Structure 1
């Protein structure tokens, strides 16, 4: 299924922005019949999002072990939109219904040790994480602004 020309151009702008301005790797376009438009997925150079409950678990684990826990980046979904588009909650819901929490090809196994108090934070990674998409809003001058959108409610992060 080929995307209409304006969607293909929009997707190309975001792909280039992620790769050449933000140093993402393994950036791919993702199309499927149940999606209203192509999505993008790729690996950012650093971790972009930590769930608030995971943040608490990581702080507890770091206190227990006395050392910092590295935060490896995770593959993320990206939804390209133009600033002039008007999307309804139903359209965003259709995107979330069509995707898995972790993009294809990402092999993030959760260790069976995650039941230990010191590794509880691992439960927030991989397929057990909530569905989220990085909304890439493109303006007429090709400026791209990114916002997180989530499937359902997520409590605010601690700063």
Structure 2
């Protein structure tokens, strides 16, 4: 009987979660799939930005495929509202994990409101 192999498939959530754990060495990475806005939470190994407090804090990550539709301000606001509802606190920032066609993951901060630029 010939063997059949199924193609490997994973969700954007799986890809970003594995990237955070194995490449970026994050701890306590947890998936939250409540409603249409699924997200991850976890603790980075070290501060992500030099201006962050010394204590490593919980971060929230929203996985997206590069080929997905364009983001709207309303959708981004819904991410903050969903996290606030689930966690009891509105985060100062959310990280978007964008997955390219080749599997590369790039991360960007999306802040809740206006943030003063860094001084170099």
Report TM bin, short chain. 0.7 to 0.9
TM-score, length-normalised on structure 1? 0.61
In structure 2, the CA distance between the partners of 1:130 and 1:80, relative to structure 1 (3 Å rule), is: closer
Looking at structure 2, the residues matched to 72 and 158 of structure 1 have their Cα atoms a distance apart, in angstroms, of 22
Deviations 1:11-57 (A, max 9, x none): 00000000000000100001223xx3210000100011436xx7xxx
Partner of 2:29: 27
Partner of 1:62: none
In structure 2, the gaps of 5 or more residues are 1-8
Count how many residue pairs are aligned between Structure 1 and Structure 2. 109
Offset of residue 74 of structure 1: 1.0
Offset of residue 154 of structure 1: 0.9
2:76 to 81, 86, 92: 92
Partner of 1:155: 116
**More strand by percentage:** 2
Partner of 1:14: 16
Superposition pairs for residues 71-82 of structure 1, below 5 Å? 71-82=54-65
Offset of residue 80 of structure 1: 0.4
In structure 1, the gaps of 5 or more residues are 1-5, 55-70, 105-126
CA RMSD of aligned residues (A): 2.3
Q: Is the 8 A contact 2:29 2:40 kept in 1?
A: yes
Deviations 1:95-135 (A, max 9, x none): 1122239x84xxxxxxxxxxxxxxxxxxxxxx6x8521011
The runs of 4+ residues in structure 1 deviating greater than 2 Å are none
Higher Cα Rg, which structure: 1
Partner of 2:43: 43
TM-score, length-normalised on structure 2? 0.79
**More helix by percentage:** 1
